[in-house]
Amino acid sequence: MRSRPPRRLRLVVAFSATAGLFWLTSWLLGKGDDGAGIANVLALPVAILGSVAAFYSLRSRRGAPDQAALRTHASTLLDQVITAEARALQQLLGDTGRPEPADIGFASTHPDAAGVRWRVDGGPESGSLNTVAEFYESLGLGRLLVLGEPGSGKTVLTIRLLLDLAEKARTETGERIRVPVRLSLPSFSETHSRSATVRERLDTWIAEQLTVVYGVPRSAAKALLADGWILPILDGLDEMDGDTAAPRRANEVIDGLNTAAGPHRWPVVVACRMGNYRLMAGTAPLQDTTAVTMEALESRQIIGWLAHRFPDPSQPDGIQARWRPVLNLVRTHPAGRLAKFLSSPLSLYLAVNVYRDPVTGPDPRELRKLSEAELDDFLQDRLIPAVVEHYPGPDGTRYRADDVRTWLSTLANHLAWMGAYGYSRTDIQLHELWRTSGDPASRGRRVRLLAAAIISGLTTLLVSLLFLRAWFGNGSSDLRAHPERWFYIIPSLLGVGVFVFRFAAETSTRTMERMEPRLLLTGMGLRKVLRAASAWLLLGVSAGIPAGIAISLLSGIGEPVKIVLGTMIGFGAIGFVIGLIAEAGDTTTLLKTANRPSEPQRQVRGTIAAQSLILALVLLVLGSLPAGIIDGVFLGSAAGLGLYLGGGPTPRLRQELAIRAMVREHRLPGKPEAFLDWAYGAGLLRLAGTATQFRHREVQERLTTEDP
């Protein structure tokens, strides 16, 4: 962790800064009216810094939340988790969320079979979805590793475990309850401080997820995690590095989980594909962890689930007649090719969706004629047409199956390229589509530079209008008498254009968030705001030098040195305000758990629009004081428009240019957000917190047609 400077050194720095400000103010006051004016402008950022520092000092004295407050936060979090995960399980099963008809089982994995060479955590020899909570509670340290083949039901098992543990936690009356929270490991970012240990970075990420996804205040999230109130259920360990890359990031997570973090911090549940974990466990297996392997569905479970999904009370056996030949074949040949194929939950999901319609849909008896190698391709090819047939589009019309396949393939290819360059290969973010627009090998360079050029051109045009207004409407200016000064003004305009272009062409990406001002009350939030505001202050002072020269040439009056100095201070104050607004929005924002994919997009648009409006109004007022209301309107409009189109965590213009280009190429629908909502409702996509993902990774891989 970063160490703080000694208290004596901090006092010396504070005293020196105070003495320096006192001397500078006295010196400026001795310069007459001009110096007093400069001192007044300089007082603005100093006053803001002092107010924020005083507020932070008062806030820091409150300390961490007490046990009663933590229990309140934990109870609220528990209710949110239950609501979100029950919805997720219902969508995965396509049913009420109870798995009794197909109670898939699991068995304890022999250490050699999984490559686990360390001690296990106890537990019975086997279990099932309906008994997974009792199985977990029998473990000594609460460390469980869920392994299985693709589509074997690992996610369903972990969600069922989470819901059962959460329901039991609601009835606990002790001082501390343990809240199970499922987190998607591919979103574990490497942007956290590299000076911190892996465990510290992992804890920081988990706490941030509690804040970003569920709205827990940052201080409470840290305290809940540190005091052992949270049971992390980590899904997607095998998706962190992809199937071809070395499992570097996944091994880092395992190393972090193997590090002790307090008496209550050992329990964890991790889900991973068997083949991927074998590669990881060769160098860094999870220690003191019981590993279980998902088992294939038995013939009775297959029959039970199909009878549950396609009932017909008028039939002797209670199932639709069209399914009876399939069930008879599975019953009489439990080791046959059809029974073996349907023993995978993914295959059973495909069959249920393809043959959902008993009237106009295809006949499931055709499955009996296919070989084992043909069954998967046959159902995969018919999945999207069947889904399109059963789920109308947003306006009541139906999408074309070929269009849906093309659009989903665009998203799958985008995720493949994102994964190849170190980003998440599972989370679909519309604001990131620019990275794979055009030729994916260019990583979106054309769209990024085009958006930056448009924003830079608009900003330069607005600034040029100020000079033209002075040329035609300001009688006190002698710019007309000295047209040669345009040779100095034009380079200044070019400098502004280059500066804005560089800002708008920035490629860094942050998390989509929405405004939540209470997070400003935390020490972390205030420190981030002050650091950003200080950086913007220096940037504003630097930009004030060419601006001051241009203003001096424009006005033709006064001392150029004083004008440049005043402009530097004024731009510095404006930069400080911009930094406060921009970073306050990023620091004090979060996204609550979404009910459909379009909700995060709307929240982000609202946040950026609010930030842009606030910035425009602030600069309108600041610009109107020295220059007049018209110039203030120009300045505020330029800043607000620039922030909305090119700033924030999701550059709006860049996103729109990329989406429009893909729409013209028929790679995306005209309304991508509405399409994502439809695909989610149709069961092709799922929500993990605020992230939109393909429901089945195998379907995503089949739709991926480009190799990054």
Distance CA 237, CA 255 (A): 13
Higher pLDDT, 26 or 450: 450
Distance CA 23, CA 31 (A): 13
Confidence of residue 675 (pLDDT cuts 50, 70, 90): very high
For residues 320-324, give the mean pLDDT. Answer: 90
Confidence of residue 92 (pLDDT cuts 50, 70, 90): confident
Q: What is the pLDDT of residue 60?
A: 42
For residues 72-101, give the mean pLDDT. Answer: 79
The DSSP H or E segment spanning 698 is helix 697-703
Q: What is the pLDDT of residue 7?
A: 43
Distance CA 415, CA 433 (A): 9
For residues 88-100, give the mean pLDDT. Answer: 69
Check the CA dihedral 200-204-210-213 and report its sign: negative
Ramachandran category for residue 142: left, alpha or beta (phi over 0 → left; psi -120 to 50 → alpha) = left
Quick one: tokens of 56? 């932070």
Q: Do 646 and 503 contact (CB within 8 A), yes or no?
A: yes
Task: Find, among 582, 596, 575, 563, the residue nearest to 690 by Cα.
Answer: 596
Residue 333 CA: distances (Å) to CA of 26, 104, 298, 478:
96, 19, 11, 98
Looking only at the bridges linking them, the beta strands covering 105-108 and 290-294 are antiparallel
Q: What is the pLDDT of residue 514?
A: 44
pLDDT in tens, 163-218: 999 999 988 877 778 999 999 888 786 544 455 688 888 888 898 888 878 888 88
For residues 223-232, give the mean pLDDT. Answer: 91
Residue 590 CA: distances (Å) to CA of 78, 242, 465, 577, 585:
18, 28, 38, 22, 10
Distance CA 74, CA 230 (A): 9
For residues 321-331, give the mean pLDDT. Answer: 90
Distance CA 271, CA 435 (A): 30
Query: Would you say residue 474 has pLDDT above 70?
Result: no
Q: Judging by beta carbons within 10 Å of its beta carbon (0-12, 13-18, 19+), is residue 223 exposed, middle or buried?
A: buried
Task: Find, among 301, 321, 299, 303, the residue nearest to 312 by Cα.
Answer: 321
At residue 179, the 3 state secondary structure works out as: strand
Distance CA 563, CA 560 (A): 5
For residues 327-355, give the mean pLDDT. Answer: 89
Q: What is the pLDDT of residue 275?
A: 82
Sequence letter at residue 403: D
Q: What is the pLDDT of residue 133?
A: 92
For residues 79-102, give the mean pLDDT. Answer: 75
At residue 625, the 3 state secondary structure works out as: helix
Q: What is the pLDDT of residue 599?
A: 80
Distance CA 374, CA 534 (A): 63
pLDDT in tens, 543-598: 666 666 666 665 554 566 666 676 676 666 666 766 666 555 554 444 556 678 88
Q: What is the pLDDT of residue 123?
A: 81
Distance CA 213, CA 198 (A): 22
Q: What is the pLDDT of residue 171?
A: 84
Helix runs in 421-556, H state only: 445-473, 486-504, 523-555
- Give the rounded distance of the alpha carbon of 559 from its chain centre: 51
Of 237-241, 306-310, 529-533, which one has max mean pLDDT? Answer: 306-310
Q: Which residue has the tokens 């425009």?
A: 616
Q: What is the pLDDT of residue 13?
A: 41
pLDDT in tens, 482-536: 666 666 667 777 777 787 787 777 765 544 444 445 555 556 566 666 766 676 6
**pLDDT > 70 in the chain, percent:** 66
Check the CA dihedral 52-58-64-67 and report its sign: negative
SS (H, E, C) 372-428: HHHHHHHHHHHHHHHHHHHCCCCCCCCCCHHHHHHHHHHHHHHHHHHHHCCCCCCCE
Q: Which backbone phi and psi does 145 adopt, to 5 degrees?
A: -120, 120
For residues 463-475, give the mean pLDDT. Answer: 66
Does the pTM of the predicted model rise above 0.85? no
Average pLDDT of the chain, as a whole number: 76
Task: Find, among 590, 600, 586, the residue nearest to 643 by Cα.
Answer: 586
Q: Which residue has the tokens 């190698």?
A: 373
In sequence order, the β-bridge partners of residue 144 are: 269, 290
What domains sit in the chain, N to C, each tagged with a CATH number? Answer: 67-294 (3.40.50), 300-390 (no CATH), 401-441+666-703 (no CATH), 444-656 (no CATH)
Q: Which residue has the tokens 């391709």?
A: 377
Centre a 10 Å sphere on the Cβ of residue 181 and count the other Cβ atoms it contains: 28
Confidence of residue 458 (pLDDT cuts 50, 70, 90): confident
pLDDT in tens, 621-671: 766 655 567 667 767 777 777 677 766 556 778 888 889 999 998 999 989
Higher pLDDT, 87 or 663: 663
**pLDDT > 90 in the chain, percent:** 13
- Kindly write down the DSSP assignment for every residue of 329-354, as one continuous string: HHHH-TTSHHHHHHTSHHHHHHHHHH
